[in-house]
Structure 1
Amino acid sequence: MKLGLQLGYWGAAPPADAPALIAAANDAGFSAVSTAESWGSDAFTPLAWWGALAPDLRLTTSVVQLAARTPAACAMHALTLDHLSGGRFTLGLGVSGPQVVEGWYGQPFEKPLARTREYVRIVRDVLARAEPVRNEGPHLPLPYQGPGSTGLGKPLRSITHPLRADLPIWLGAEGPRNVALAGEIADGWIAVFHSLRLAGLYEEWLGEGLARPGARRTRADFEVVANCQVTVTESDDERRAAVEFLKHVQAHYIGGMGARDVNFHANLFRRMGFDAAVDEITARFRAGDRAGAAGAVPDELVDEIAVIGDEAHVRAGIAAREAAGVSMLLVGCRTVEQIEALGRIVGSASPATGLSRN
């Protein structure tokens, strides 16, 4: 199992201790450092700023939102960071949801799978630099010829030669069709929340995509990257505090990260079997009772998507996810001590080789 340090998207302010955390992850044998975006901080700038602090780590986004920038602009970010990092960058992409896409970015949300397919194709064409980039698809036409067009648009090829034409692309996905699409057109899948009880379904969905004509990867070389809060605790009180903190986080995702009837995170927890809890959390959150919404999150739900406990419990939880097909856990450690503890736990599982950084 590989570990990645998830620095996520920022809240009201940037994390003050990021440089120390990144240095600790680099020294502890972590494989990657990852950033994300929602509707505040962006994902690319922190990696460009912090990347030099982590000379042994992959730099990944998990995720950048498709609607935030055109595919050509996204490819420019990717090829630039790949050059600056000496080939350590991995591009993680995600659609987000209609509230963000239409409410924040002012872009249409319709047909997200078809739009994703076109987007990834254009990014790969930019990186291949085989010829001037064109796209005849209906969602992201290049050159643009829609309303307001001058008709003067010209297909272009990147001035800068990308360092790697096959720069890895991961897709963040939650539903069966999106996960299958990741298996078909991407090099890896980012699970926003990974559930062991759904592991068999995940493999079916991925297998469908990996079996499609023209799929890029086989299951053997396809990466499954799971966001997972992993916390080593030394007492029941510590464990209880960590669980309660995550209940507030999950109440926000379930009750507030989407519309009442269109919330992909809520749908995922329904697939896990938490229908009644999702209904109550949503009702309380939307009524303004955030504390009540957090209180309605069952301990079982937290335990399904996180690993919190003593070293033996954490070791077993990580092993179970590795057995379920996860190749990297993105962990949101916020102290150097937690990073060092996880490095020891995962490193000791393979004493001959330690952690892989690849």
Structure 2
Amino acid sequence: MSRWGLTVPLTGLPLAEHREIIESLPGLGYTDAWSAETNGTDAFTPLALASQWAPQLRLGTAIVPVYTRGPALLAQQAATLADLAPGRFTLGIGTSSDTIVERWNGLAFDEPYKRTRDTLRFLRRALAGEKVKEEYDTFAVKGFKLETAPASPPPVVLAALRPGMLRLAAREADGAITNWLAPKDVPTVRGELGDDPELIARLFVCPTADAAEARAIGRWMIAAYMTVPVYRAFHEWLGRGEALRPMNEAWAAGDRKKALEVIPDEVVDDLIVHGSPDACRARIREYVDQGLTTPVLAIVPSGGLSHAEAVRVLSPSAG
């Protein structure tokens, strides 16, 4: 297997306490560290630290919203990481969700496809060192130029959950990032993206042989994500609309308890990697066999394992 990534920072572990774990990753067979940006750390700071703690790792954001920073600031932060990790940084951008953009940041979640496309086109030029003066459909840039452009402009990959964005990623980006899917869903995604672009996916991994524990955790996570419109539409496209309909109806009615109860075991087992560490690694390899380029493990605390133990037992070297 060529790539094996880890989501950083690890849930429940302060960022300042990550150094030893991140330093250990290359020796365990991990090739990548990918950050995210929701309501915890920002996406760039953990990678800035990782760039110094483990210079062998490829680093990536999965993802940075295109709305919550101005285009120029986004280019500056990407250029900074590209300078800290030359040739080893990949910028992942995407729409994020209406919850993060509108409810938490007070910004309009308008024309997400166009905003992503315009940001991608701007970043291509800015990170190449061009002076950008352009009226895009969703914003205008009037004469921005990076003071120091990266010697090696970073690849830009797009968060893409459905056909339109996947096709945009295939045409204009360097790959796509997806999320919340089963191995059997990978060919559906590949059908729109094509066989050649890199396909990255964050996989939620719960290393416990206690299926009841894993499913209880998984139900909370699925309810939190799948009731968000972008993920609801994604799973309708993937064919889980009917299976998730009772959850969505209960959630809309304000009955959170029932919403959790009516999520089928099969859906949890599809979307959450769980079982013994050996079973989890085998399941991750199923994704790769179906066409996933880069699995990125998001370790869900479970089974009484410490963070360091979970990272070790789920590593390629453990199998």
Q: Structures share a fold, TM > 0.5?
A: yes
Paired with 1:326 and 1:264, the residues of 2 have a C-alpha distance of 21
SS at match of 1:33: strand
Partner of 2:174: 187
Higher deviation after alignment, 13-22 or 77-86: 13-22
Partner of 2:298: 332
Match of 1:159 among 147, 159, 164: 147
AA at the equivalent of 1:175: R
1:141 equivalent to 2:140? Answer yes
Preserved contact between residue 225 and residue 328 of structure 1 (Cα < 8 Å): yes
Paired with 2:255 and 2:15, the residues of 1 have a C-alpha distance of 27
Paired with 1:308 and 1:40, the residues of 2 have a C-alpha distance of 24
In structure 2, runs of 5+ residues without a counterpart are 302-306
1:251 equivalent to 2:223? Answer yes
Preserved contact between residue 284 and residue 290 of structure 1 (Cα < 8 Å): yes
SS at match of 2:132: coil
How far apart are 1:246 and its partner, in Å? 1.5
Distance change in 2, residues 1:315/1:101 (3 Å) = closer
Match of 2:260 among 272, 276, 294: 294
Distance change in 2, residues 1:321/1:118 (3 Å) = same
SS at match of 1:228: strand
Partner of 1:314: 280
Paired with 2:10 and 2:242, the residues of 1 have a C-alpha distance of 29
Q: Deviations over 1:257-299 (max 9, x none)?
A: x3xxxx0111222233333442222233344443432222222
Partner of 1:82: 82
AA at the equivalent of 1:285: W
How far apart are 1:57 and its partner, in Å? 1.0
Higher deviation after alignment, 295-304 or 19-28: 19-28
SS at match of 1:135: strand
Partner of 2:38: 38
Higher deviation after alignment, 1-10 or 322-331: 1-10
1:241 equivalent to 2:213? Answer yes
How far apart are 1:48 and its partner, in Å? 1.9
Larger radius of gyration: 1
1:6 equivalent to 2:7? Answer yes
Preserved contact between residue 71 and residue 120 of structure 1 (Cα < 8 Å): no
1:196 equivalent to 2:171? Answer no
Match of 1:206 among 193, 196, 202: 193
Partner of 1:213: none
Percent of aligned positions that are identical: 32
Match of 1:224 among 193, 199, 202: 199
Partner of 1:151: none
AA at the equivalent of 2:250: R
AA at the equivalent of 2:63: V
SS at match of 2:291: coil
AA at the equivalent of 2:55: P
Q: TM-score, normalised to structure 2's length?
A: 0.87
How far apart are 1:9 and its partner, in Å? 9.2
Paired with 1:24 and 1:9, the residues of 2 have a C-alpha distance of 14
Preserved contact between residue 4 and residue 316 of structure 2 (Cα < 8 Å): no
Partner of 1:341: 313
Q: Deviations over 1:306-350 (max 9, x none)?
A: 3222355334423321121101111122522222222246x75xx
Q: TM-score, normalised to structure 1's length?
A: 0.79
AA at the equivalent of 2:125: D
Paired with 2:48 and 2:35, the residues of 1 have a C-alpha distance of 11
Distance change in 2, residues 1:16/1:305 (3 Å) = farther
Q: Deviations over 1:17-43 (max 9, x none)?
A: 533432332331111111111245321
Distance change in 2, residues 1:95/1:232 (3 Å) = same
Distance change in 2, residues 1:115/1:75 (3 Å) = same
Preserved contact between residue 58 and residue 89 of structure 2 (Cα < 8 Å): yes
Paired with 2:316 and 2:10, the residues of 1 have a C-alpha distance of 27
Preserved contact between residue 9 and residue 18 of structure 2 (Cα < 8 Å): no
Preserved contact between residue 10 and residue 40 of structure 1 (Cα < 8 Å): no
Partner of 1:109: 109
RMSD across aligned positions (CA): 2.5
How far apart are 1:253 and its partner, in Å? 0.8
Partner of 1:172: 159
In structure 1, runs of 5+ residues without a counterpart are 144-154, 208-218, 349-358
Q: Counterparts in 2 of 1:63-82, with a 5 A limit?
A: 63-82=63-82
Paired with 1:178 and 1:8, the residues of 2 have a C-alpha distance of 27
